[in-house]
Structure 1
Amino acid sequence: MRLVADTEPARLEPEMRDLDEDAPRPRRPAARAKAEPAARRPRRWRNPFRSALTRRILAVNVLPLLILVGGLLFVGEYRKGLVQSELDALRTQAELIANALGEGTIDRPTAGEDVSLAIEAARHMVRRLVEPTGARARLFAADRSLVADTRVLSGPGGSIYIERLPPPEDDPPVLGAAGRVYGWIVGLLPDGEELPLYAERPVQSASDYVEVNRALEGEVMRMRRRDQFDRTILSVAVPVQRFKQVLGAVMLSTEDGAIQKAIRSVRFDILKVFAVALAITVLLSLYLGGTIVRPVLRLARAAERVKRGQGRPPEIPDIGRRNDEIADLAESLRTMTQVLWQRLNANERFAADVAHEIKNPLTSLRSAVETAARVKDADQQRRLMAIIQEDVGRLDRLITDISDASRLDAELSRDESEVVDVARLLDALAELHSTMEDGSGPAIRLDVARHQELTVVGLESRLGQVFRNLIANAVSFSPPGGTVTLKAVRQGAWVEAQVEDEGPGIPPDKLAAIFERFYSERPSGEKFGTHSGLGLSISKQIVEAHGGTIVAENRQAGGRITGARFVVRLPAGHG
């Protein structure tokens, strides 16, 4: 035993120096870390359309607008109304002309002859009556021949055809380009119906026109046709009658130029509103995309820095002033990063502590083995073998406790929580201690408020581990014949459990340090290495994972310490 006592102090100092050399280097001060982001490079312009999310937002906002405008540009019902109004006007004009012809251009028959139209008088009257309307009038006789056409002038040199020419194009280039764009857009719209082709023969007769044939039979008929230039021709044929006798037929026809002009005006107004709405929609979409994409990109770059981060934890941008879901995401990422780096730092410290704690028994083992190889005395060899067995047992306890501590987080997050009755749990632990007690240790006394509901939500096995550690710790410090008291009471929304002993208490400056890993403050008569120093640390980790707290304090009476007390507070659950 003296061999170990002589060598152990000598080997601890170099180990501590080695451990300090292997420990992670201190990080840069926080003030310097915060000052660095101030020196940023000037912000460069970025094309907003490079963002897929911005393009999607723009498409989602613009597509309904395009569909709406497309529907408005179709103006099918509006066109039908204009066509119907134009046909009604043509019919009214044709009926007026037909009535005038039936009353004023009749040849007075002699006895036994039928009434007929005075052709020359009818031609002049038709031309005069139709001139203000701008329509084309044709008069067909009862024998189906064409006798008058306002587009044809007859003279000594023959017939002259009159054709209305479109006005000269003097629009500025901008309007010309707008007109071409308008024509392209209108060309994409469905026409809605197929019309028969309008064609004129060199020598026209009533048989060429369905509506004229019906008019010679005494009916009024309307027609719509489309010519070779894709213009719509509207026509109305009305019979010319004298006392129910059909003397001929008047056919009025016109192109849909006025209708197209009205529709064009309406469509241009719609396109103007659409252009303004499109510009506003694009700008708002870009703004919306920017307010979403820019912070998301900043968070993505920050996450990338976290992945590659070395030396110090990278900063997650603070966008909390937005007060929206992206701010919540940034806050969650910031909290996650802090927890991640705390976990990494804790793992580093844990690895360093484990290396230090394992080196001690390993060094002792190596010394004992090397010495046993040189010692020939049987008694000394037996003592060395006892040392080796103790160190092996210490290593086994260390590895077991380290394994338990390392997988604790995973178990706490994976296992399903349940309702745990703290009073029943303390009863079971007290009964188990009484069963295993041989009479030389302290007694267990229960002080549980059984009239209260003492239930919590958690893992019963892990909470039982906490109280077993606290009871074992209290038993080891209690004097022979002493008492360990287990208390439980409900305090508002918390269940408070206490484990008290009658031992020497805890040094006041060590009340917080006893929960650190591998810290061991054992009774003076206890064999070294019996405990790993992880029990209270694991207990604190379990309690905090359940949303509770654990503290240590000294019991006092008359100004002196009469024992230690561990207080565990857990959120109350419902059974």
Structure 2
Amino acid sequence: MAWATATAPPRRRVATDRPRFNRLSGAISPLTRRILAVNLVALFFLVAGMLYLDEHRRGLIDEELLSLRGQANLFAAAVAEGATVGDTPGSEHLNPLLAQQMVRRLVQASGTRARLYDEKGRSIADSLLFKGPAGVVEAEELPPPADKRQRLRDFLAEYDRLIQRLWAPDPLPVYVDNPAASAKDFPEVQSALAGTADSQVRRDPNSSLILSVAVPVQRYTQVIGALMLTRDSAPIDAAMVRVRLDILKWFAIALGLTILLSLYLAWTIAYPIRRLAAAAERVRRDRQGRYSIPDFSNRSDEIGRLGAALKEMTEALWLRMDAIERFAADVAHEIKNPLTSLRSAVETAARINDPERRQKLMNIIQEDVGRLDRLITDISDASRLDAELSRAKSEPVDIGKMLKALVDVTETAAAERDIRLLVEATGNLTIGGIEGRLVQVFRNLIANALSFSPRGGTIRLKAFREGRAVVAEVLDEGPGIPEGREGEIFQRFYSLRPSEEKFGVHSGLGLSISKQIVEAHGGSIAAMNRCRSNGDIAGACFTVRLPVTP
């Protein structure tokens, strides 16, 4: 019996995973800027569309024209009753002086401009024109004094002009204020002279709207003139400003909430990712310290799963690096023994002249060379195992058929020692795995059982289904496993061989490789002793449990 122990690797320094504050709280990250841009652009487009309010403006214009038409009908009826001269039906006509006085009085408190035309389309009254010694004087309403909202009105006016240029070219005619204008200059007045009320919307050079309504002035059924009322869109513009102010107030609130929520969202996404990136960067660059990945296990979202995956990956990386260091130390230790023996034999053989003793030394050299060859072969196989298992494609493997085929191959070697091999396989024993490597596992276990089984003994191979797993057992009638060594036998270079077996025949990697293959398939391997009823050891039992996967 011989065994080898591996030297423990030096402990790594564990460093904190928190990145420096200035690296995380510096300039706004690109992800934060993208989140802000996406949310704010959508909000700005929404508010820009709401500020246009074209349908709302049209509704206000229709209501204003309707109100203006009712007012014009009322004024036309008053003018027809109070400013008409003529005694007989058909001879009535408007008195210009009376009509002008009545028109000016009627519209004095209404804020509108009234124009009266006779049946021939001539202008006979205008509420903004006054006759004086120097001629006709036109009154003009001054614009209201500028207030705090004037800048907002100017901005909204420019906004309306921009929108109209881009998407809705303005089809409205331009209003031209001509004191000498006749009925021919206004289509609505011509319609009123024909007996039909009509309205028109125009735009003045200042981009405000001019609303006009013309109604016929009738005496009984005779049209004796047309009255046109004109009003600017100041009330409509004021109403639009009030609505837009309310929209802008809610926009300011929504903008603040959007920015806060975007920053919060960016903080919950970008900040953890930056911490993970900083930790990963330190793991990549610093080869002295052992940094851990920040723990986001309290989060149940993708960031939490990413953090857990990176943490597990980093831990697996450290474990792999530790395993590589241990493996290198174990390999150096195991190779050093035969090399030392080989060097000693070579140096001794050079100084000995006795042929018999020199032959013994040559035999030792050959055995050490063979031992080195076996060690290097098994070490090479073990080092390639991880890469091969990760690249190999899984395929259906019938464990029962595999065990029967291995028995057929091993029967000749077993018969030389008068050992029987029995197979008991029941149920559906097909799993998904790498057949060549699974064959290697059971070949190692059968070879191990043959080594420890006495002459005339029996080795039983059992395979059966247990839930969602296939269980395979290799039972021998050997001396069993020393108490407390059931787990150590799967360590690398651990060798526990029969006393009659020649030293150095086995490298001590067979069971370690078998465990590595089984665990790569998601299974487990264990060893235990079988006992008789009186408590004596009846042999060893190796159990392999493999999950049934597609």
TM-score (norm 2): 0.91
Please tell me the residue identity of whatever aligns with 2:12: R
Q: Distance in 2 between matches of 1:256 and 1:83?
A: 8
In the alignment, which residue of structure 1 is the partner of 2:462? 487
Query: Over residues 247-282 of structure 1, what are the superposed CA-to-partner deviations in whole Å (9 max), with x where a residue is unaligned?
Result: 222111111111111111111111111111111111
Q: How does 1:164-313 map to 2 (within 5 A)?
A: 164-171=141-148, 182=156, 185-190=159-164, 192=168, 193-313=170-290
Q: Distance in 2 between matches of 1:184 and 1:466?
A: 83
The alpha-carbon deviation at position 243 of structure 1 amounts to 4.5
- 2:84 is aligned with 1:106: yes
Say whether the 8 Å CA contact 2:397–2:432 is kept in structure 1: yes
In the alignment, which residue of structure 2 is the partner of 1:46? 25
Please tell me the residue identity of whatever aligns with 2:34: R
Corresponding residue SS for 1:86: helix
- 2:126 is aligned with 1:152: no
- 2:447 is aligned with 1:472: yes
In the alignment, which residue of structure 1 is the partner of 2:535? 559
- 2:383 is aligned with 1:406: yes
Q: Distance in 1 between matches of 2:11 and 2:270?
A: 36
Q: How does 1:448-527 map to 2 (within 5 A)?
A: 448-450=424-426, 452-527=427-502
Residue segments in structure 2 that go unaligned for 5+ positions in a row: none
Query: Over residues 511-563 of structure 1, what are the superposed CA-to-partner deviations in whole Å (9 max), with x where a residue is unaligned?
Result: 22111101111112222211111000001111112222212222233333332
Please tell me the residue identity of whatever aligns with 2:38: V
In the alignment, which residue of structure 1 is the partner of 2:342? 365
The alpha-carbon deviation at position 78 of structure 1 amounts to 0.9
The alpha-carbon deviation at position 376 of structure 1 amounts to 4.1
Please tell me the residue identity of whatever aligns with 1:167: P
The alpha-carbon deviation at position 197 of structure 1 amounts to 1.4
Say whether the 8 Å CA contact 1:445–1:485 is kept in structure 2: yes
- 2:106 is aligned with 1:132: no
Residues 168, 502 of structure 1: alpha-carbon distance in 2 compared, 3 angstrom cutoff: same
Residues 377, 187 of structure 1: alpha-carbon distance in 2 compared, 3 angstrom cutoff: farther
In the alignment, which residue of structure 2 is the partner of 1:3? none
Say whether the 8 Å CA contact 2:523–2:545 is kept in structure 1: yes
**Aligned partner (choices 60, 78, 93) of residue 116 of structure 1:** 93
Residue segments in structure 1 that go unaligned for 5+ positions in a row: 1-11
Say whether the 8 Å CA contact 2:478–2:540 is kept in structure 1: yes
The alpha-carbon deviation at position 298 of structure 1 amounts to 1.1
Please tell me the residue identity of whatever aligns with 1:563: G
My pick for the range that moved more, 139-148 or 67-76, is 139-148
In the alignment, which residue of structure 2 is the partner of 1:548? 523
* CA root-mean-square deviation: 2.8
**Aligned partner (choices 4, 15, 38) of residue 60 of structure 1:** 38
Say whether the 8 Å CA contact 1:62–1:278 is kept in structure 2: yes
Residues 180, 154 of structure 1: alpha-carbon distance in 2 compared, 3 angstrom cutoff: closer
Q: Would you say how many aligned residue pairs link Structure 1 and Structure 2?
A: 544
The alpha-carbon deviation at position 405 of structure 1 amounts to 0.9
Say whether the 8 Å CA contact 1:152–1:159 is kept in structure 2: yes
**Aligned partner (choices 329, 334, 338) of residue 352 of structure 1:** 329
The alpha-carbon deviation at position 118 of structure 1 amounts to 1.3
Q: Distance in 1 between matches of 2:20 and 2:281?
A: 19
Query: Over residues 446-491 of structure 1, what are the superposed CA-to-partner deviations in whole Å (9 max), with x where a residue is unaligned?
Result: 2x252x3333332222111111101101111122222222222333
Please tell me the residue identity of whatever aligns with 1:559: G
Q: Distance in 1 between matches of 2:288 and 2:524?
A: 32
Say whether the 8 Å CA contact 2:208–2:233 is kept in structure 1: yes
In the alignment, which residue of structure 2 is the partner of 1:26? 11
Q: Distance in 1 between matches of 2:545 and 2:115?
A: 107
Corresponding residue SS for 1:511: coil
Say whether the 8 Å CA contact 1:495–1:569 is kept in structure 2: yes
Q: Distance in 2 between matches of 1:554 and 1:507?
A: 9
Corresponding residue SS for 2:527: strand
Corresponding residue SS for 2:205: coil
Query: Over residues 202-241 of structure 1, what are the superposed CA-to-partner deviations in whole Å (9 max), with x where a residue is unaligned?
Result: 5222222232233333333221211122221111222323
The alpha-carbon deviation at position 67 of structure 1 amounts to 2.3
Corresponding residue SS for 1:132: coil
The alpha-carbon deviation at position 198 of structure 1 amounts to 1.2
In the alignment, which residue of structure 2 is the partner of 1:568? 544
Q: Distance in 1 between matches of 2:128 and 2:150?
A: 31
Residues 254, 552 of structure 1: alpha-carbon distance in 2 compared, 3 angstrom cutoff: same
Please tell me the residue identity of whatever aligns with 2:445: L
**Aligned partner (choices 64, 67, 72) of residue 94 of structure 1:** 72
Say whether the 8 Å CA contact 1:102–1:241 is kept in structure 2: yes
Q: Distance in 1 between matches of 2:97 and 2:354?
A: 158
Identity of aligned residues (%): 53
Corresponding residue SS for 2:146: coil
Corresponding residue SS for 2:181: coil
Say whether the 8 Å CA contact 1:240–1:248 is kept in structure 2: yes
The alpha-carbon deviation at position 293 of structure 1 amounts to 1.2
Query: Over residues 129-151 of structure 1, what are the superposed CA-to-partner deviations in whole Å (9 max), with x where a residue is unaligned?
Result: 22232110111223332211100
Please tell me the residue identity of whatever aligns with 1:569: R
Corresponding residue SS for 1:50: coil
My pick for the range that moved more, 455-464 or 376-385, is 376-385
Say whether the 8 Å CA contact 2:24–2:274 is kept in structure 1: no
Q: Distance in 1 between matches of 2:264 and 2:402?
A: 60
In the alignment, which residue of structure 2 is the partner of 1:4? none
Say whether the 8 Å CA contact 1:419–1:573 is kept in structure 2: no
Q: Distance in 2 between matches of 1:272 and 1:460?
A: 72
In the alignment, which residue of structure 2 is the partner of 1:69? 47
- 2:416 is aligned with 1:439: yes
In the alignment, which residue of structure 2 is the partner of 1:83? 61
Say whether the 8 Å CA contact 2:414–2:450 is kept in structure 1: no
Residues 287, 135 of structure 1: alpha-carbon distance in 2 compared, 3 angstrom cutoff: same
Residues 396, 180 of structure 1: alpha-carbon distance in 2 compared, 3 angstrom cutoff: farther
Residues 273, 309 of structure 1: alpha-carbon distance in 2 compared, 3 angstrom cutoff: same
